[in-house]
Structure 1
């Protein structure tokens, strides 16, 4: 999936008005993924993403990555975006699921396995469904 397509998908899923806001959402989710310990899955996951977003996921000190739950993940995304909790949840779901769909099935499984159980629903898109 190309970056422009990813931006369009996030925009549509989250009901965002502009491409720039959708791109900022992808960026915020990617930055938060970079902070999250994914059991070593960052490099392989990022390798299958467009070059505009891949380096964001692999940035930073690998030894400082943390384990945190969905609430903390959404809070960090919200701080980056300056959005309400409800908007942040919708945007996180739209962007994380789009990122997951942009890679192979094997990488999707690795990502889902590395995410905490309460965050993995954000990485799967089902129409009219929201992560609980």
Structure 2
């Protein structure tokens, strides 16, 4: 899946209808997900993404991984998206990005990513 297809799929799955905003949401969600991943997992995920989405996933690899639950993750995404986005809206956007991600990379990679996340993240991939 190329970058344009990824962003279009995010829009179709409930992301913002504005393409620029959908691209921003995608990058923010992937950056926050990358902060959650340990070991080589962020790089492994980035390796399967379009070039434009690699950097957000790996930009915080050197930092200690963030350990949070689903609600904290959604609040963090909402904060990073700025005013006007609450955790409920963030949940819709995260689900749009995660379900697109599950389509864009291998099933094995999604299994590896999900293995590093608490069970509460599961519905966000469906």
Q: With structure 2 as the length reference, what TM-score do the two structures score? A: 0.89
CA shift, 1:66, in A, is 1.9
Equivalent of 2:98 in 96, 103, 110: 96
Matching of residue 32 in structure 1 with residue 32 in structure 2 = yes
CA distance in 1, matches of 2:15, 2:51: 25
Instruction: Report the Cα distance in structure 1 between the residues aligned to 2:20 and 2:60, rounded to whole angstroms.
Output: 24
Note the aligned Cα RMSD (angstroms).
1.5
1:50-65 matched pairs, under 5 angstroms? 50-65=50-65
2:42, 2:61 within 8 Å by CA — same for their partners in 1?
A: no
Q: CA deviation at 1:61?
A: 4.3
List aligned pairs for 1:1-12, cutoff 5 A: 1-12=1-12
The answer for unaligned runs of 5 or more in structure 1 is 125-132
- The alpha-carbon deviation at position 37 of structure 1 amounts to 3.1
Alignment of 1:1-132 (within 5 A): 1-14=1-14, 16-82=16-82, 83-124=85-126
Secondary structure at 1:14's aligned position in 2?
Answer: coil
In proportion to residue count, which structure has more helix? Answer: 2
Q: TM-score, normalised by structure 1?
A: 0.85
Contact 2:6 2:100 (C-alpha < 8 Å) held by counterparts:
yes
1:39 Cα deviation from its structure 2 partner: 4.9
Aligned length: 124
What residue ranges of structure 2 are gaps of 5+ in the alignment? none
Alpha-carbon separation, structure 2, partners of 1:100 and 1:15: 15
How has the CA–CA distance of structure 1 residues 57 and 100 changed in structure 2, closer, same or farther, with 3 Å as cutoff?
same
Give the ranges of 4+ consecutive aligned residues of structure 1 lying more than 4 Å apart after TM superposition: none
